[in-house]
Amino acid sequence: MQRTLRLLLTNLIVSALVVSSVSTCIAQSADDSPQMLRGQVGAFGVLSDEIQKRMGLTVAESGTQDLSVADVAPGTAAFGCGIHKGDRVLDAHLQGDALNITIERNGMIFRAHLKEIVSKTAVLIAEIPKRDNTPTKPFALGAQQFGVADNQLFTEKAKVDLGKPLSVGANRFALEADRNFKVLANYNVELIVDRSMSMKQPDCPDGLSRWNWCGLQAADLAKSLAAFTQNGLTIIPFATEYDVFEHATAQNIDYLFNNVGQQFGTRLFEPLAERLDNYFVHHKANTKPLVIVIVTDGLPVPKIEPQMVRNELISASQRMTDPGEVTVIFCQIGGNDRQGQNYLLDLDQNLMAEGARYHYVHTISFAELREAGLGAALAASINQYAPAIKPPVLVPSKGKIAPGKVRVRHA
């Protein structure tokens, strides 16, 4: 009886502290061993069914396509943190063994760093409110802004203007992109991936090399697209030479990135020109629009390459009859090549002034790739930049597609 009264009193104290917006609620567990959170991207982005279950909350989509908390399970990280049914989910992303989540309630923004409570004997300890005198910068929806203790709901001073859409930051960008992931099934997606020696640098999330991180991201993209299309992805690794792998599945991509080595050189012009030519030569009335995603960590070399790539992009635009026919998206991986970054931004912003018919070349920064992941960032970029299209009527093929077949090799 005394134990029950103590728990009830503790819960009342915790609830009062959450309402006051200056409280700390920590869920302690007998098992503090960290476990990496993993789960396939679903309709609600990183908030897959597995992640929702482990954190103790259920999300649902409202009529306005916003995500809100539909239920909170007692004794879980979400419950202990003070997340309520009806809270509007603004952002969610995984960070190691934790889930960073941002919510809106009655015009106020809250954020929390949730860790799964793995012990059934977890106890909530209410702490005396303390004033945080640490200077902070204005909050933006970025992972680097999460400086919150585990399972603590932190109140933001800024209020949400519910009459206006939120600005699309990297993580909001990711959440909305994942939710509308099937948009990519309306396109033929081809990845031209840099395999130069600099791709060995281990400066990607979880200490992965640029090459290995690209492989994981490409495989995840193929898995996500498999629910909507059976064509797989076209993967073109390039350096001094390039290969073309058509209709590659996630399994094919894993094998590819584990068995294709790095080379010197970053000769982008040839693979880019070949893939554009291939599209225009085989283009028919019911052909899906083409999206070419170029993942590279720097400026094309040798010195003549940057101008050749620029000329090819301008020339290809002259062969287009519709602005949504082809979209080229450059994704810079690694953030230490300022010259390469400036070059990609120049392609994004100035090609039309140099003669391109349409603004069809865009860029995704390394910061956005890190926060959102390749697939989510790509889907959001398509939603943002590519004109709305009506999916073509496709006739199912009676034959089977040979996955991962090398179609062409150029030296």
User: pLDDT tens per residue, the chain (411 residues)?
Assistant: 554 545 444 454 444 443 333 333 333 333 444 444 443 334 456 778 888 888 899 988 766 667 888 998 888 888 888 888 888 888 887 777 788 888 888 777 777 888 888 654 434 444 444 444 444 333 333 333 344 556 555 554 433 343 333 333 444 444 444 455 677 888 899 999 999 999 999 988 888 999 999 999 999 888 888 877 778 889 999 999 999 999 999 889 988 898 888 888 899 999 999 999 999 999 888 889 999 999 998 889 889 999 999 999 999 999 999 988 999 999 988 867 788 889 999 999 999 999 999 999 999 988 888 888 888 888 888 877 765 444 444 334 444 434 444 444 443
Question: What is the rounded radius of gyration, in angstroms, for the C-alpha atoms of the chain?
Answer: 24
Amino acid letter, residue 161: D
pTM for this predicted structure: 0.55
Residue at 310: amino acid letter: R
Decide which of 3.40.50.410, 3.40.50.720, 3.40.718.10, 3.40.50.800 is the CATH code for 180-410: 3.40.50.410
Q: Report the relative pairing of strands 88-95 and 98-105 from DSSP bridges.
A: antiparallel
HEC profile of the chain: CHHHHHHHHHHHHHHHHHHHCCCCEEEECCCCCCCCCCCCCECCECCCHHHHHHHCEEEEECCCCCEEEEEECCCCHHHHHCCCCCCEEEEEEEECCEEEEEEEECCEEEEEEEECCCCCCCEEEECCCCCCCCCCCCCCCCHHHCCCCECCEEEEEEECCCCCCCCCCHHHHHHHHHHCHHHHHHCEEEEEEECEHHHHCCCCHHHCCHHHHHHHHHHHHHHHHHCCCCCCEEEEEECCCEEEEEEECHHHHHHHHHHCCCECCECCHHHHHHHHHHHHHHCCCCCCCEEEEEEECCCCECCCHHHHHHHHHHHHHHHCCCCCCEEEEEEECCCCCHHHHHHHHHHHHHCHHHCCCCCCEEEECHHHHHHHCHHHHHHHHHHHHCCCCCCCCCCCCCCCCCCCEEEEEEC
User: Tokens 């940057």 sit at which residue?
Assistant: 306
Spatial distance between the Cα atoms of 407 and 388, rounded to a whole number of angstroms: 31
Q: What letter represents residue 215's amino acid?
A: G
User: Which pLDDT score, from 0 to 100, does residue 127 have?
Assistant: 42
Give the pLDDT confidence score for residue 393 in this predicted structure: 41
Q: What is the pLDDT of residue 347?
A: 94
Write down the domain spans for the chain.
Answer: 2-169, 180-410
Q: What is the pLDDT, as a whole number, of residue 37?
A: 45
Q: Which residues pair with 89 in a beta bridge?
A: 67, 103
pLDDT of residue 78: 86
Sign of the alpha-carbon dihedral angle for 216, 48, 329, 191: positive
> Tokens 């519910």 — which residue?
162
Nearest to 155 by CA among 89, 109, 103, 206: 109
CB 149 within 8 A of CB 23: no
Burial 155-171 (b: 16+ CB within 10 A, else e): ebeeebeeeeebebbbb
Buried b (16+ CB within 10 A) or exposed e, 309-344: bbebbbebbeebeebbbbbbbbbbbbeebeebbebb
